[in-house]
Amino acid sequence: MSVSYRQPGVVLTDRRFTVPLDHAHPTGETIELFAREVVAGDKAHQDLPWLVYLQGGPGFGANRFVGKSAWLGRALKEFRVLLLDQRGTGHSTPANRQTLPLRGGPAEQADYLTHFRSDAIVRDCELIRREVTGGAPWTVLGQSFGGFCTVNYLSTAPEGLTAAVITGGLPSLDAHADDVYRAAYPRIERKVAAHYTRYPQDVERARRIADHLLAHDVVLPNGYRLTAEAFQSLGILLGGSEGSHRLHYLLEDAFVRIPGGTALSDAFQEEVQGLLSYAGHPLYALVHEAIYGQDTRPTAWAAERVRAEFPQFDAAKTLAGDGPLLFTGETIHPWMFDCDPALRPLRETAEILAARTDWTPLYDPARLAANEVPVAAAVYHDDMYVDTAHSLATARAIRGLRTWVTDEFEHDGVRAGGPRVLDRLLALTRDEA
């Protein structure tokens, strides 16, 4: 039963759908999807076209907006919007350390999680589209990993789309995970250098914190073991529009004087555990590298292996000299499954996924080359999370795709830019810009 209610300027309706776990076996086991329909209050009774939003991740539920914030206000001028909690996220059937043991042991859990990639998400969309729109095609807005899903949509079910808008999410069509991270580490290093240029006082602060962590066994209040490597992973903040500033304010409050010396402050530890814990989005850690799996090569902890090619990221080696500590970015490492209590029970499951060698292709280059769906993509110059060169190569491979390459925004431009980013991209799909 759908439930409708109001927020300032909008009417929201909570909707639930039942879909097959494995779309290749439509009469088999099912899971539940949750989505929130949003329409402008003054258009609630109008027959409007639909826009479905695919969140970034993987592993995050759709944004929980209040009213018409961020890009939503622009969308509501002409669309009914469906904010989909992709399978395993948000209010959809959850997949986490509490629920995955219902599947059985690690092997069964890993097999279950193979059904949580972009191909399954797109088939979910196609199934619920028929119920939501009565069969009419809709527009898709894909942010980050949602853009990966959108390229899969264009590859497998373009008949379901009126138009496609992608923000910071044009994936390589054929890069192995190794290639993705080999391109990523130099970008991350540039972002860190830019941060230290803005906040040179953070060089010494970061070194001091890392040095403390190498010398002490620090366990955060939630049980997270804060190592120097874990501290470095806070660099993931640097890919967002306000991330450098957030990191700076975090570092300046790190230490407090106590009897007998200094210690990491409670305030610092509280904020760090919120930033590092995967309790709310474990799928991000479990299937992050699997989103790049497309052949018989295992992903095999690609970010960890490739990091060894960049010794400048080694904290101990850095602190033995006088150089700045490098933070890391959107990378998943096996030690996370030891440090994070939300991931520890899933370590063996993650190992099985990392060793898997039967990933199916996610994109169809021939079909993309013959694309007829109007598509526009924002490509953020030197995006820390998605390689610009990979994105532009894919843009050239999708017939008719129009790009907006900009350094005005970081990876979260569709949020930070309010209505401007969506407005520009919709205009591009309509040849109005």
- pLDDT one-digit tens code per residue, 184-237: 999 999 999 999 999 999 999 999 999 999 999 999 999 999 999 999 999 999
Answer whether residue 58 shows pLDDT above 70: yes
- pLDDT one-digit tens code per residue, 358-369: 999 999 999 999
Superfamily of domain 3-174+363-429: Alpha/Beta hydrolase fold, catalytic domain (3.40.50.1820)
Answer whether residue 322 shows pLDDT above 80: yes
pLDDT at 72: 97
pLDDT confidence band for 2 (50 / 70 / 90): confident
Q: Which of 2-11, 283-292, 330-339, 361-370 has the least mean pLDDT?
A: 2-11
Known active-site residue 144? yes
pLDDT confidence band for 25 (50 / 70 / 90): very high
Domain ranges of the chain: 3-174+363-429, 177-355
Q: Which residue among 47, 217, 358, 431 is the active-site one?
A: 358
pLDDT averaged over every residue in the chain: 97
pLDDT at 253: 87
Known active-site residue 364? no
Answer whether residue 370 shows pLDDT above 80: yes
- pLDDT one-digit tens code per residue, 272-282: 999 999 999 99
Write down the pTM of the prediction. 0.97
Answer whether residue 376 shows pLDDT above 70: yes
Q: Which residue among 176, 281, 288, 411 is the active-site one?
A: 411
Q: Which residue among 144, 233, 244, 277 is the active-site one?
A: 144
pLDDT at 1: 64
Known active-site residue 358? yes
Answer whether residue 418 shows pLDDT above 90: no
SS3 sequence, the chain? CCEEEEECCEEEEEEEEEEECCCCCCCCCEEEEEEEEEEEHHHCCCCCCEEEEECCCCCCCCCCCCCCCCCHHHHCCCCEEEEEECCECCCCCECCCCCHHHHCCHHHHHHHHCCCCHHHHHHHHHHHHHHHHCCCCEEEEEECHHHHHHHHHHHHCHHHEEEEEEECCCCCCCCCHHHHHHHHHHHHHHHHHHHHHHCCCHHHHHHHHHHHHHHCCEECCCCCEECHHHHHHHHHHHHCCCHHHHHHHHHHCCEEEECCEEEECHHHHHHHHHHHCCCCCHHHHHHCHHHHCCCCCCCCCHHHHHHCCCHHHCHHHHHHCCCCCCCCCCCCCCCHHHHCCCCHHHHHHHHHHHHCCCCCCCCCHHHHHCCCCCEEEEEECCCCCCCHHHHHHHHHHCCCCEEEEECCCCCCHHHHCCHHHHHHHHHHHCCCC
